[in-house]
Structure 1
Amino acid sequence: MSIDSAQSNPHRIVIVTGPSGAGRSTAINALEDLGFEAIDNLPLSLIPRLLDGRPLSRSVALGVDVRNRDFTTKALMQLVDALPAQTNADVSLLYLNAREDVLIRRYSETRRPHPMAPNESLQEGIRRERELLGAIQSRSDIVIETSDMSPHDLRDELTTLFAAQGEAGLSVLLNSFSYKRGVPHGVDMAFDCRFLRNPHWDPALRDLTGQDPRVVSYVMADDRFSAFFEKINDLTDLLLPAFHDEGKSYLTIGLGCTGGKHRSVAVAEMMGKALANKGWQVSIRHRELERRAKPGARDT
C-alpha cells in the first residue's frame, strides 16, 4: 500500500484520518482538487458497499474520524486490511498529526465542543482522541506532521504525494487577496487589480463582494478591463500548457486588490470560469472573504 505502487494501478483509495484540528478537512479538499472523489464522514460499514459494483472511474478520498457513526480503532484497521482484496485500486491510510498545543489553538478557533469531551475540557478531549488514534498512526502508510504547516503547505505536500502524472494533470488555484495583508505564501504568479475602478466607492456596492453580479458588471465596465482580462487569458494560455509539460502539478495564481473584497474576487471568479471552460482543473480561494467569515474577524 505504498505511493510507488500507484504507478501500476489506475486509481487510488486514500483514507484520511487524524485528530481533530490536524488538517483533515484541508486534506480532503486538496485531494478533491487533485481529481479525487471526496467523501467525508461516511460510516465505516458503508465504505465496502460504496466500492461494490463497477470498477472505480477515478480515485477516492475518504475522510474518517471519531465522529463517524460506527468508528472504532478495530473497525478502521479491519477495513484497511480488507479493502485491497475488494478492489484493484491502491489503498493508502493517511494520518495527519499535530502537537497538542497546536491542536488546542486550532480547535479553540472553531468554538465548538470537542467530539471526545463535549462536557469536559478541550485538553481532555484532545488527549482522549490521541490515545484512541495512536494505534492507527503506527499502522498508517503516510504520516504528515502539520504543526508548522499552513493550509497551503499541506496542499503542496499532498500534491507532491498524490498528483500522479497523467492522472490529475495541472491543478490551478486562484487566490484573491488584499495587498494590505500581503501576497499569500506560495503564489507562483500574481496580477494586480488595483488599477480597475473600485466598487468600494459606490455606496450601493460597498457591502457586496466580487461574487455579486452587480459588482462584476461594475468592474467589467472599466474601459481597461477587457484588454487586461484578454492579456491574462493570453498569458495563461501560453504558460499553463508549458508548466504542465514540465511536470508541474499545482499552480497558484494570485489576484490582488486593496481590500480583497471586490475587484480581485470578481476577476478570480471570471478567470476561474474561463480556465474551467478550457478544460483546466480549477479551484478558487478568496482569502479575505474567508477571514471575514470567521467569528470575531473585523472588516478593514
Structure 2
Amino acid sequence: MTDQTRRDTGEVLIVTGMSGAGRSTVANALEDLDWYVVDNLPPMMLRPLLELTELAAGAVPRVAVVVDVRGRELFGDLPEVMRSLRAGRQVRVVFLDAADDVLVRRFESVRRPHPLQRDGTILDGIRRERERLAPVREAADVLIDTSSNNIHQLTTRVVELFGEQAAARHTVNLMSFGFKYGLPTDVDMVADMRFLPNPYWNDELRGLTGEDERVRDYVLGQPGAPEFLDAYAAALAPVLEGYQHENKRQSVVAIGCTGGKHRSVAMARELAERLRTVPGVAVRVTHRDLGRE
C-alpha cells in the first residue's frame, strides 16, 4: 500500500483475554458506542482488516477486534502481530481477566466446556489458557479484572474507558401526544398537561401549534406551568443519571394533552431545554399527533 492510498484508520482496539472474563460483554458495549466490532478474527487477518479500513477513508473511524483462543493454533501468532501493528499505527490492547474460581463458576453456570479443556477439567483448560496468554497479558495496554463485575458494571467500565468524552450515555425521547388518540406504546413515563387551560378555546391560537411562540408564551404563562417544568425536570434528572449507571441507553417520556397539538408540544419543547443540562444525556423531541386534524 502506497502513502497515497493509505488512510488514517483512527482508533484500533484489540480485545482479548481469558475465556469467560467478559469479551462478549465488552464487544456489545463497544458496538453500542459505535465502534466497528469484529469477533473471533484470526490474528493473521488483523493487518488485512485494518488496511481495508484505511481504504474506507474515515468511514470506519474506530475498530475493535476480539481475538481469543477459539482460533486454537492461530492464536499463537497474536504477540508477533501485535508488535508488527504497533510499529506502524496506534493500537491498544485490552486484556480481560478474572480469578480462576470465578471463571470456573461462570463456565459451570452456562454448562459449557472451556475451549482448551480437552479431556481434563475446566480448571485444566484455564491453566493452559493462562500459559498461552501470558505474553499478551504482559504487553496489554489496559487490564480489566472482571472477577467482581456483573454485566452492567463491566459495560459501565467500557463506557468510561472507550466512550467519546462528550458522547451521551443515555438518550431520552420526549414525545408529545394527544390522549384522544390513545396512549403511546413503549413509553417509560407519562405526564399529563390537561391541568393547564387549553389554547384550543382561544380563537387566536386555535389554528396554531405548540411550536409557535404565541402558543408557547400562553401555555408557559399559565399558573402552575413553570412550577411543573422545574419540578418534573428535577425529578427526571436522577432517573436519567440512574439509567446511565444501569446502562439503559434510551428512554421515552410521553407528554400528553387532549389533541397533542398545543400544550403537550410546548411543554415537551421547554422540558427538553431543561433536560439538556443533565450530564451524559442527549435529548430528542418528537410530536406524534401534531399533524392530525
Equivalent in the alignment of 1:78: 80
**Distance of 1:105 and 1:187 partners within structure 2:** 34
Deviation at 1:172, TM superposition (A): 2.5
Q: 1:188 aligns with which of 229, 237, 241?
A: 241
**Distance of 2:51 and 2:286 partners within structure 1:** 33
User: Structure 2: any 5+ residue segments left out of the alignment?
Assistant: 1-7, 173-185, 187-238, 244-253, 288-293
Equivalent in the alignment of 2:101: 101
**Distance of 1:239 and 1:93 partners within structure 2:** 40
Equivalent in the alignment of 1:227: 256
Equivalent in the alignment of 2:170: 172
* Matching of residues 105-124 of structure 1 within 5 Å: 105-124=105-124
The aligned amino acid for 1:30 is: A
The aligned amino acid for 2:64 is: A
1:157 aligns with 2:157: yes
The aligned amino acid for 1:59 is: R
* Matching of residues 272-291 of structure 1 within 5 Å: none
Could you say what secondary structure the match of 1:13 adopts?
strand
TM-score when scaled to structure 2? 0.57
The aligned amino acid for 1:91 is: V
**Distance of 1:159 and 1:189 partners within structure 2:** 15
Deviation at 1:33, TM superposition (A): 1.1
TM-score when scaled to structure 1? 0.55
The aligned amino acid for 1:72 is: F
Cα deviations by residue, 1:159-190 (Å, 9 ceiling, x for unpaired):
12112335xx213389x9xxxxxxxxx97346
Deviation at 1:115, TM superposition (A): 0.6
**Distance of 2:81 and 2:87 partners within structure 1:** 11
* Matching of residues 38-77 of structure 1 within 5 Å: 38-53=37-52, 54=55, 55-57=57-59, 58-68=61-71, 70-73=73-76, 75-77=77-79
Deviation at 1:70, TM superposition (A): 4.8
Could you say what secondary structure the match of 2:112 adopts?
coil
**Distance of 1:35 and 1:16 partners within structure 2:** 16
Deviation at 1:126, TM superposition (A): 1.2
Equivalent in the alignment of 1:135: 135
Maintained 8 Å contact 2:11/2:91: yes
**Distance of 2:157 and 2:88 partners within structure 1:** 28
Maintained 8 Å contact 2:79/2:135: no
The aligned amino acid for 1:119 is: D
Maintained 8 Å contact 1:16/1:63: yes
The aligned amino acid for 1:51 is: L
Identity of aligned residues (%): 33
Maintained 8 Å contact 1:41/1:68: yes
The aligned amino acid for 1:120 is: G
**Distance of 2:117 and 2:102 partners within structure 1:** 18
Could you say what secondary structure the match of 2:37 adopts?
strand
Structure exhibiting the larger radius of gyration computed from Cα positions? 2
Could you say what secondary structure the match of 2:104 adopts?
helix
Cα deviations by residue, 1:41-89 (Å, 9 ceiling, x for unpaired):
012121111111414432011101000265334x1111111223444xx
From the superposition, tell whether residues 187 and 45 of structure 1 become closer, same or farther in structure 2 (CA, over 3 Å). same
Cα deviations by residue, 1:133-182 (Å, 9 ceiling, x for unpaired):
1221111111011101111111121212112335xx213389x9xxxxxx
Maintained 8 Å contact 1:92/1:141: yes
Equivalent in the alignment of 1:242: 277
From the superposition, tell whether residues 14 and 173 of structure 1 become closer, same or farther in structure 2 (CA, over 3 Å). farther
Could you say what secondary structure the match of 2:14 adopts?
strand
From the superposition, tell whether residues 64 and 235 of structure 1 become closer, same or farther in structure 2 (CA, over 3 Å). farther
